[in-house]
A and B are shown apart, each in its own frame.
Chain A
């Protein structure tokens, strides 16, 4: 490894512009004649629209136009889609209700867009939005998945009777039932996974620009995957053909999944730009973000885990109901199915698994992937169940896990996934040692003397990243392939541009991707630029989510670099009159091995472009592209340990220590990986202790629509994290990378809840473990001795 190559702790190149306020975000974009949009949104969770009168609004100062859903429909703009087809176990396709970009006859959640106001200023647009008179006939409301499935529940979409979208299963029900009936012990538990709001620092924004001379659209937007946005807007929403639609996602301030999806606002602003003949910009405020950004999680599950007399798991049965909100968002159907139930084997050899998943409509914000997407739900369910089982069986939670670990690879689970490599015990041992697990009883006793309750808990997670082999996901219902693309463009004097289909919105690609090039070619990272986020510049790509940019995106760069290197070696061999196989690249030079003949990198690049003396038949230039389609998912795994201290008088939990031992395979930049883990842990701790979207069940009003009531983790809620890395390189991709973006958010919630329930002495506690809930739980009699 060079000082800037693979494995080097290089400070992020992009941070200078972010930290000095020079980032260029969608809302920073200014174009001539630009006007501003404000959306009229439903104040009701469920209502019929009986009339819209915009005449007063249109007469207000600065107003250019007010447009509604009927006009949008008349212009042939299509409905929003869900891009992953799931079939119920009876073979019927999922029942997708219509999601119109602007509601026409019915609104289904508070915040559902009804009309767009375009005006000279954002303030005038907002003023006028208050003058748009929408007549609503209120309808009954349902907000929870359990209530939505009850007989007589309000019907949300005519296409989905009883609000059931699909009733899907995976695994072997008969074998699982048999295992449960023959078990020496069955642990039964009900698991709630709380609904979360993503809260990226930058709210969503979009700028739609229609050029009538070229009949061409440009869409600036806060997207994690601009090419997918263009594809979907072209193919399904009839905004414009792909060659007439440029999508640019410039600097994007965090996504966490919520910026994967195509929302109504992008489509409506593009359409409105054509209707009004002015560029139209919309920027969400924080309240709108709470009301309209896709939420995460919201599962209710029943679990049965069966053990034999030796405490080996012999079966796992899961029944989950997932709340998908008022409409099916872009990947909403994949999250509680193939991103969730396929991970239910965890790190354990479980011979029989059966999971049944029902998804339902409710009058709430659509739910889709949020950091981890299905895998946090699987991990929380499994690791809470393992902890409860250990307590019921009276054995150490570490030993119960150790006994059931998968130890030989590849390992085929009963739920599709084929784990390629791992060493779960290495992470468990590293975490226990770092946490001084064995010294805990003394620390607990010391805390007890101070009147505090200490608890310790662990979680052994696995996730499927490097999303994903295209043929495999296609066979499971995905509407797209999940390969990635790269183009490596060597300039005439040797500087390099890498055009990647990945998209950085906090991940540090401009640094890590440059490190890869530096490692291969021996050039400084300062001479490498990473270009992403613009469909006019970059070839088709699939974007960033599912911890895929390293494992998939960088693998595409490796393939393109292979081609560049091969051609450069041919040129160098020709120029130095040597054999191509004798050329090596070292420290920015091409050398003939075993001689003192060298050519600097830039001279080879120049030779490629002057083309004065190239091998016979070789094309000029030094620019290569590649597409990489992974052969399998990757499987990051690890062990997290939380130690907490509870103030029994107030129920407040302090995290005394948090240990994360992760196996991400090979690591390009440890500094950035640690940052990713820190951020993931903060989000997981947020879910475990603080965050929850709450609705008024009678009215469907969201009760946590600001930071006054939605508790985000702050620095003083978090300890200093203790991190370590174990490494079983991923055999499936050229760099041996597994991915690190989501692990922290996946592995941490069960570790914390296991620690808190250890401290309070019983398991009747749901996330988030707020002081109120923990204090209330402490008023319950413990059902086991805390010292067990």
Chain B
């Protein structure tokens, strides 16, 4: 790791100000990607602005069907929240499947969404739920937020403060893990919401998380696992790597979608 300066922010304003005064600075949340990348000397931020001690970024609120998860809320907290589980068990289940216990107690939803790793789980949930990404300066619809692998609509220095969504009628998530990293080779989040069915796929797309219109249409017609089993998935838009070919991922998109619908009930 190269030398870096550590700052602990106690408020959103302080964090944003610190960030704007350090051109080569980075926000640090759980650090589950950033610290590992820095240790590999693949990232060298001059300053780290730690967001984990800002009270406004923490906690989960459920008011009626409206859910708000603070950006610095850990995966373990999302997995364990009974209020959240009561209205949207799918996102708690998803959080309980991220990484390992260490990762789940350090990693945060804001960090994961901002990083937009193409194999991360949360982008599928945020896109699948049609959630709103709330930042220090605006609100961004999930459909506009994820713009490519490790790329989002966030401006330089812009910080996620919360993720908000209306609890869906039904939702489910299923993923197939990479045998080495245990990241999603393919993960599919399905949701039946007031504004329609949404199907979001992570881990598979060559341009990051994406929605699958064919599956959404099929599930809108009939919300049963069999509906997605025969939907065609275009392999040409999917990644190929050591662990999975595009054809295999196309198969997994169908299989995981089917299992996600089954888990949603």
* Interface positions of A (Cβ within 8 A of B): 123, 126-127, 287, 649-652, 689-690, 694, 703-704, 707-712, 770-772, 775-776
Contact indicator per residue, chain B 36-72, by CB within 8 Å of chain A (1) or not (0): 0000110000000000000000000000000000000
* Interface pair A703/B181, CB less than 8 Å apart: no
Complex CA gap A650/B243 in Å reads 12
Select the residue from B1, B244, B245, B248 with max chain A CB neighbours within 10 A. B248
- The reply to whether B180 and A709 form a contact with Cβ atoms under 8 Å apart is yes
Size band of the interface chain B makes with A: 10 to 19
Taking the closest CB of chain B, its distance from the CB of A188, in whole angstroms, is: 29
Chain A residue numbers with a CB within 8 Å of B242 are: 694, 703-704, 709
Q: How far is the CA of A650 from the CA of B177 in the complex (A)?
A: 10
Looking at the assembled complex, report how far the CB atom of A67 sits from the nearest CB atom of chain B, in whole angstroms: 23
Q: Mark B244-261, 1 if CB is under 8 A from A, else 0.
A: 110010011001000000
Contact call A690/B248, Cβ cutoff below 8 A = no
Told that A651-B248, A770-B243 touch, could you supply 9 new A-B pairs with CB distance under 8 A?
A: A126-B41, A650-B252, A703-B242, A709-B243, A711-B180, A712-B180, A771-B179, A772-B243, A772-B248
Provide the residues of chain A in CB contact with B150, threshold 8 Å: none
Residue of B41, B183, B242, B245 with most chain A CB atoms under a 10 A cut-off:
B242
**Which chain A residue lies CB-closest to B40?**
A287
Contact of A771 with B176 in the complex, beta carbons under 8 Å: yes
B183 contacts across to A, CB distance below 8 A:
708
- CB contacts (< 8 Å) of A707 on chain B: these are 180-181
A770→B179 contact, CB < 8 A: yes
Given A772-B244, A772-B248, A650-B176 contact (CB < 8 Å): yes
Task: Kindly list chain B residues whose C-beta atoms are within 8 Å of the C-beta of A708.
Answer: 180-181, 183
Minimum CB distance partner of B248 in chain A? A772
**Nearest 4 Cβ contacts at the A-B interface:** A711-B180, A711-B179, A708-B181, A649-B255
A650-B248 Cα distance, complex, nearest whole Å: 8
Q: Which of B176, B180, B255 has the most CB of A within 10 A?
A: B180
CB distance from B149 to the nearest CB of A (A): 15
* Interface residues as binary, B1-35 with A (CB distance below 8 Å gives 1, 0 otherwise): 11000000000000000000000000000000000
CB of B179 within 8 A of CB of A690, answer yes
The answer to whether B245 touches A772 (Cβ under 8 A) is yes
Q: Taking each of A690, A704, A770, which has the highest tally of chain B beta carbons within 10 Å of its own beta carbon?
A: A770
Which residues from 224 to 255 on chain B have a C-beta closer than 8 Å to any C-beta of chain A?
242-245, 248, 251-252, 255
- Nearest CB to that of B39 among chain A residues? A285
Instruction: List the B residue with the shortest CB-CB distance to A773.
Output: B248
Which residues from A are CB-within-8-Å of B176?
650, 652, 771
Can you name 13 A-B residue pairings with CB atoms under 8 Å? A126-B41, A287-B40, A649-B251, A650-B176, A694-B242, A704-B180, A704-B242, A707-B181, A708-B180, A709-B242, A709-B243, A711-B180, A776-B245
CA distance A688 to B41 in the complex (A): 33
In chain B, what residue has the closest Cβ to A712? B180
Complex Cα–Cα for A771 and B182 (A):
13
CA distance A650 to B1 in the complex (A): 38
Q: Contacting A650 at CB < 8 Å: which of B2, B40, B178, B255?
A: B255
Complex: A145 Cα to B41 Cα, angstroms: 33
Residues of A with C-beta under 8 A to B40:
287
- What residues of chain B lie closer than 8 Å to A710, measured between beta carbons? 180
* Contact assessment for A775 and B248 in the assembled complex, using a CB-CB cutoff below 8 Å: yes
- How many angstroms from the CA of A126 to the CA of B183 in the assembled complex? 30
SS class, residues of chain A in contact with chain B? loop
| A127, closest chain B residue (CB) | B2
Contacts of B179 in A (CB 8 A): 689-690, 711, 770-771
Residues of B near A771 (CB, < 8 A) are 176, 179
For the complex, give the distance between the alpha carbons of A783 and B2 in Å: 57
- Considering only CB atoms, which chain A residue lies closest to B179 in the complex? A711
Inside 8 A of B252's CB, which chain A residues have their CB?
650
Please, how many angstroms separate the alpha-carbon atoms of A649 and B229 in the complex?
Answer: 11
B33 to chain A minimum Cβ distance, whole angstroms, is 11
Chain B CB within 10 A, most for which of A650, A652, A712: A650
- A518 to B209 CA separation, bound complex (whole angstroms): 64
- With both chains docked as a complex, state the minimum distance between the C-beta of B131 and any C-beta of chain A, in angstroms: 28
State the CA gap A348–B251 with chains docked (Å). 44
* Residues on the A chain within 8 Å of B178, using CB: 711
**Measured CA separation A771–B249 after assembly (Å):** 11
- B41: chain A residues at CB < 8 Å are 126
Bound CA span A649–B225, Å: 14
A287 to B2, CA, bound (A): 17
Determine which residue in A649, A651, A704, A710 has the highest number of CB atoms from chain B within 10 A of its CB, and name it: A649
CA–CA, A174 and B112, complex, Å: 66
Output the least CB separation between B257 and chain A (Å). 12
Q: Report how far A605 CA is from B2 CA in the complex, Å.
A: 60
Residue of B nearest to A710 (CB): B180
Q: Which residues of A contact B180 (CB under 8 A)?
A: 690, 704, 707-712
Cβ of B243: which chain A residues have Cβ within 8 Å of it?
Answer: 709, 770, 772
Q: Which residues of B lie under 8 Å from residue A772 when comparing CB positions?
A: 243-245, 248
> What separation, in Å, do the CA atoms of A613 and B7 have in the docked complex?
77
What's the Cα separation between A690 and B243 when bound, in Å?
A: 10
Distance A776 CA – B249 CA, assembled complex (angstroms): 11
With A703-B242, A709-B242 known to touch, is A776 a contact of B181 (CB < 8 Å)? Answer: no
Query: Using Cβ atoms and an 8 Å threshold, which residues of chain A touch B244?
Result: 772
In the complex, per-residue mask of B146-188: 1 if CB is within 8 Å of any chain A CB, else 0: 0000000000000000000000000000001011110100000
Which residues of B are found within 8 Å of A776, using beta-carbon distances? Answer: 245, 248
Contacts of B251 in A (CB 8 A): 649, 775
A127 CA to B251 CA, complexed, in Å: 46
Nearest to A711 among chain B residues (CB) is: B180
A768: nearest chain-B partner, CB-CB: B179
Interface residue ranges of B92-134 to A (CB < 8 Å): none
| A709→B179 CA distance, assembly (Å) | 8
Residues of B within 8 A of A127 (CB): 2
- CB neighbours (8 Å) of A775 from chain B are 248, 251
Please indicate the chain A residues that have their CB under 8 angstroms from the CB of B181 in the complex. 707-709
Most chain A Cβ neighbours within 10 Å, of B40, B179, B180, B183: B179
How many angstroms between the C-alpha atoms of A681 and B203 in the bound complex?
A: 31
CA distance A770 to B243 in the complex (A): 8
Nearest chain A residue, comparing its CB with the CB of B245:
A772
- By a CB distance below 8 angstroms, the chain A residues around B248 are 651, 772, 775-776
Q: How far is the CB of A196 from chain B (nearest CB, A)?
A: 14
Kindly provide the distance from the CB of A787 to the nearest chain B CB, expressed in whole angstroms.
25
In the complex, A704→B243 CA distance in Å? 11
Please measure, in the bound complex, the distance between the C-alpha atom of A483 and the C-alpha atom of B110, giving whole angstroms: 61
Report how far A172 CA is from B232 CA in the complex, Å: 57
Give the nearest-CB partner of B258 in chain A: A649
Contacts of A694 in B (CB 8 A): 242
The answer for the CA separation of A127 and B2 in the assembled complex, in Å, is 8
Instruction: Chain B residues near A712: list those with CB within 8 A.
Output: 180
Instruction: Give complex CA distance A287, B40 in Å.
Output: 9
Shortest C-beta distance, A493 to chain B (Å), equals 49
CA separation between A649 and B255, bound complex, in Å? 7
Taken together as a complex, chains A and B put the C-alpha atoms of A669 and B251 apart, in Å, by: 49
Cβ distance B242 to chain A, nearest Cβ, rounded Å: 6
A652 to B176, CA, bound (A): 9
A123 to B251, CA, bound (A): 46
The smallest beta-carbon distance between B51 and chain A, in angstroms, is: 25
Interfacial chain B residues near A690, Cβ < 8 Å: 179-180
| Distance (whole angstroms) from the CB of B240 to the closest CB of chain A | 10
Tell me, rounded to whole Å, the shortest Cβ–Cβ distance linking B150 to chain A. Answer: 15
Cα–Cα, bound, A771→B176 (Å): 10
User: How many angstroms from the CA of A707 to the CA of B40 in the assembled complex?
Assistant: 13
In the complex, what's the smallest C-beta–C-beta distance from B23 to chain A, in angstroms?
22
Within the complex, the shortest CB–CB distance from B14 to chain A, in Å, comes to 29
**Min CB gap A81→B, angstroms:** 34
Among A127, A707, A772, max chain B CB count under 10 A is at A772
A55 CB to closest chain B CB (Å) equals 22
* A711 to B180 CA separation, bound complex (whole angstroms): 4
Query: Which single residue of chain A is at the shortest CB-CB distance from B259?
Result: A649
Q: Within the assembled complex, what's the spacing in Å between the Cα atoms of A776 and B183?
A: 21
